[in-house]
Structure 1
Amino acid sequence: MQNSALPNLWQQGAVIPLTITDLSDNGDGVGRFEGRVVFVPDTVPGDELEVRLVRVKPGYAHAQLLLIMTPSPHRVRPSCMVADKCGGCQWQPVSYDYQLQAKQNQVVQALERIGGFDLSSAELSGCLSPILAAPEPLRYRNKVTYPLDERHGKVRAGYYRKGTHRLVNLNHCPVQDLRLDPLLAQVKQDIQQRGWTIYNEKTHRGLVRHLSLRVGRRTGEMLLTLVVRNWDLEGLEDQAHLWLRRYPGLVGVTLNRNPERTNAIFGSETRTIAGRDYLEESFADLRFQIRPDTFFQVYTEQAEALMRVIQDHLKLEGNETLVDAYCGIGTMTLPLARQVRQAIGIEVQPEAVAQAQTNAKLNNITNVSFQTGTVESLLPQLGFVPDVVLIDPPRKGCDASVLAQLRLSPAKHLVYVSCNPATLARDLQQLCRTDEELNGGHYKLRKVQPADFFPQTAHVESVAFLERAV
């Protein structure tokens, strides 16, 4: 019989002891209290803590860290002095070796629990490879985009505090390329001295919304972009030329207009103020032009490593046909095109297709073409059966119509690149199902290779290799 004199500790504001035993997919530490799950940010498996419950549900709660009574052996000193406040990284206090273990486990859990794959079975034993560790877990990001605000008359740039829209001001960031730090610190002062008003998302007033910086890891070329509510920045051209003179690696200053009340960063219009609207980068021994709003993996070296895994697994002989769905600017299409007879890229965004075509010409690759449209509409219109289909969908994974077309396609090899283990496992389950009610054939999972593209965060990239079942 429960003693009514005992306090109810499962309520908001209660202070409880907690041992962290796991990490969630969004990066929080996970512990259990009286059989119920408690999520605590900035904690590490092995930590023995005192926490305060801040959001309580019947079966789980979120808590605030009050005291580390015994630190975990996997806990390290964060490389960032505002790591406990900034929402940019979740795993600064976690040793890098343990980050890799946690990400490998994310993929295992997704494949087994969501995908229904028995990785210990004879058929799948050994199909999951050890995660590709990052050569450098800091100073790797080739692109950063900072929201701006103004406080006590000073312009600030940084990331939002965890779970809020309150800005943490930064003058440098340990995960961005070192060459971007001087721009971050100085450009804020320049904006302030120019008197340009800062956008307020509550009132929808003010002009400058975001500062975006991009660098070619191999070339050192940089782009600076201001995202604004409208074009009226007095003295911008003079300031842009001043920036070009001050920073030798800076090749262009652009202005992007986003007039909407939205959380989306970039709008649809970009103007070049000084220099050019792209930087050049070397990737997989090719030259690429990358614009301010171009999608390009933020960890160049790791993207190249994953490309080598794809090439090594496919063992292309030069007579194959390849289709790269969600091809973007041709980042994967063009390196693979050099190893096949014919390559076709499919991309829904016309601007990305135009950039892909430019990059093909830049590298004199003539056996590739790019088509604008959706995968589900263009794949059945190709007029031939590709030997290899490569897909790299957004984080939400593939739409059901895309999966249906892939099942109908008799391509021998399917390569699925994903930034979300959960949606990857869900889609693989559909592609590998043998149910008679599903149209088309099915695939067999042969290999999954995780890769750490985002050190200090809970995100993990993977590539899965499938073969058409005979």
Structure 2
Amino acid sequence: MDCHYYDAAVCRSCRWLERPYADQLTAKQERVATALPALPWRPPVASAQERFRNKAKMVVAGTTAEPTLGILDPRGGGVDLRECPLHAPGLTAALPALARFIGAAGLTPYSVPERRGELKHLLVTESPDGELMVRFVLRSSEALPRLRKHLPVLLGELPVAVASANLQPDHKAVLEGPEEVPLHGDTLTMQVNGLGLHLRPQSFFQTNTDVAAALYRHAVDLAGSVGATSAWDLYCGVGGFGLHLAREGVRVVGVESSEQAVESATITAGELGLSEAEFLAGDATAYALARGEAPDLVVVNPPRRGIGPELAGWLEASGVSHVVYSSCNVDSLARDLAAMPSLRPVSGRLLDMFPHTDHHEVLLLLAR
């Protein structure tokens, strides 16, 4: 991948960019295999090397008339990365129009050194169908009237399915705050393997749609290989794993702390007539600890910290015969596996969500 930002040393986020891609995959495979118990590995799932990101997370700086969309330099000044070659083409095409909108709506970029201004971040997600979700992260509600006034112009220029404002008043390195103000639309539909997954503003979705699709397909294959007829999808997000399993006839209960994500998963299940799929808002560990009987299969897709000792201890003692563990952090995965010695890894696969970095995604099948 060619990147003039990297060549000019203004952005070095893709730290492995100078490595041939085949070497990147080899290094990641060696890293995860070394950290985990010995097990059979399937061939890694490679990614496109550019234009694979479905989300642009842009720090907004500069001035209202000439905003920068990208990152901050060491002094807190804006570095414009509108032409980042990682972004899907629709994102790249949308960013100039969004920069013009910032000026038209009079949105003052937030200055980190001076601690003043309103617009902190611009978060844009593109669906496989080319529709957009646009989120404006603001310091306060002061700019909301101007956003609403000028939004029709933006809607006429870009295929925006969802627009919202997120309020993040604190001066700290936090991407977004807890309060979301709807401006237009409700959900962005992400078509993945023929499933229309509904994505709402504060819901998590994998950044690499094609590799996410491969992740879900592989999980379905693993569930089929062990004959699972019932499953829990813990940390289910918008239901990616659970809905794929339910479509294959597996009875599924999904648990997720985000109420927005649970609402999205429930909408998709209803649209597809998947009456055997139920999604609940709550803590995954608390849900498991409160249940007396385990399903055939438990799918876990936790954040980087892993599932932790409580849930690992419950799985160890539960008698559940198989676990599918999706991890973005092999170190926390290794700790969790050590707490579940009766559940042995029998199959592993590396999925490369983030080329040109050392980040990795691993899918393991555990059997008792």
**TM value normalised by structure 1:** 0.73
- The within-5 A match list for 1:324-339 is 324-339=233-248
Q: Is the 8 A contact 1:86 1:160 kept in 2?
A: no
Q: Is the 8 A contact 1:319 1:340 kept in 2?
A: no
1:149 pairs with 32, 45, 61, which one? Answer: 61
Q: Secondary structure at the match of 2:69?
A: strand
- The within-5 A match list for 1:299-318 is 299-315=208-224
| Alpha-carbon separation, structure 1, partners of 2:13 and 2:155 | 28
Answering whether residue 149 of structure 2 is matched by residue 213 of structure 1, we say: no
Q: Secondary structure at the match of 2:273?
A: coil
State the one-letter code of the partner of 1:272. P
| Alpha-carbon separation, structure 2, partners of 1:209 and 1:145 | 11
Provide the residue aligned with 2:352 in structure 1: 452
Answering whether residue 96 of structure 2 is matched by residue 185 of structure 1, we say: yes
Q: What is the CA distance between 1:359 and its match in structure 2?
A: 2.0
Q: What is the CA distance between 1:165 and its match in structure 2?
A: 4.9
State the one-letter code of the partner of 1:172. E
| Alpha-carbon separation, structure 2, partners of 1:341 and 1:139 | 34
Residues 35-73 of structure 1: per-residue CA shift (max 9 Å, x gap): xxxxxxxxxxxxxxxxxxxxxxxxxxxxxxxxxxxxxxx
Provide the residue aligned with 1:404 in structure 2: 313
Q: What is the CA distance between 1:271 and its match in structure 2?
A: 2.1
Q: What is the CA distance between 1:354 and its match in structure 2?
A: 2.0
| Alpha-carbon separation, structure 2, partners of 1:133 and 1:356 | 27
1:342 pairs with 220, 233, 251, which one? Answer: 251
Q: Is the 8 A contact 2:298 2:320 kept in 1?
A: yes
Q: Number of residues paired by the alignment? A: 365
Residues 246-286 of structure 1: per-residue CA shift (max 9 Å, x gap): 12x22232211111233221222222223x13211211221
Residues 132-151 of structure 1: per-residue CA shift (max 9 Å, x gap): 111x2110111111111116
| Alpha-carbon separation, structure 2, partners of 1:166 and 1:87 | 16
Provide the residue aligned with 1:286 in structure 2: 195
Q: Secondary structure at the match of 2:333?
A: helix
Cα separation, partners in 2 of 1:200 and 1:360, compared to 1, 3 Å: same
| Alpha-carbon separation, structure 1, partners of 2:356 and 2:100 | 29
Query: Which is helix-richer, 1 or 2?
Result: 2
Provide the residue aligned with 1:384 in structure 2: 293
State the one-letter code of the partner of 1:147. V
Q: Is the 8 A contact 2:76 2:113 kept in 1?
A: no
Answering whether residue 7 of structure 2 is matched by residue 95 of structure 1, we say: no
| Alpha-carbon separation, structure 2, partners of 1:149 and 1:262 | 15
Q: What is the CA distance between 1:430 and its match in structure 2?
A: 2.2
Structure with the greater relative contact order (CA < 8 A, sep ≥ 6): 1 or 2? Answer: 2
| Alpha-carbon separation, structure 2, partners of 1:302 and 1:238 | 38
| Alpha-carbon separation, structure 2, partners of 1:415 and 1:158 | 36
Answering whether residue 43 of structure 2 is matched by residue 130 of structure 1, we say: yes
Q: Give the root-mean-square deviation of aligned CA atoms.
A: 2.1
Q: Secondary structure at the match of 1:131?
A: coil
Identical amino acids, percent of aligned pairs: 29
Q: Secondary structure at the match of 1:230?
A: coil
| Alpha-carbon separation, structure 2, partners of 1:150 and 1:240 | 21
Answering whether residue 174 of structure 2 is matched by residue 264 of structure 1, we say: yes
| Alpha-carbon separation, structure 2, partners of 1:376 and 1:369 | 17
- The within-5 A match list for 1:31-430 is 79-83=2-6, 84-111=9-36, 117=37, 119=38, 124=39, 127-134=40-47, 136-150=48-62, 154-161=66-73, 165-217=76-128, 219-233=129-143, 234-247=145-158, 249-274=159-184, 276-315=185-224, 320-430=229-339
Q: Secondary structure at the match of 2:5?
A: coil
Q: What is the CA distance between 1:404 and its match in structure 2?
A: 1.0
Cα separation, partners in 2 of 1:193 and 1:285, compared to 1, 3 Å: closer
Cα separation, partners in 2 of 1:166 and 1:235, compared to 1, 3 Å: closer
Q: What is the CA distance between 1:152 and its match in structure 2?
A: 10
**TM value normalised by structure 2:** 0.92
Cα separation, partners in 2 of 1:198 and 1:319, compared to 1, 3 Å: closer
| Alpha-carbon separation, structure 2, partners of 1:347 and 1:364 | 21
Of 205-214 and 374-383, more deviation after overlay is shown by 374-383
Q: Secondary structure at the match of 2:278?
A: strand
Max radius of gyration: which structure? 1
State the one-letter code of the partner of 2:17. Q
Of 201-210 and 458-467, more deviation after overlay is shown by 201-210
State the one-letter code of the partner of 1:461. E
Q: What is the CA distance between 1:465 and its match in structure 2?
A: 0.8
Cα separation, partners in 2 of 1:193 and 1:242, compared to 1, 3 Å: closer
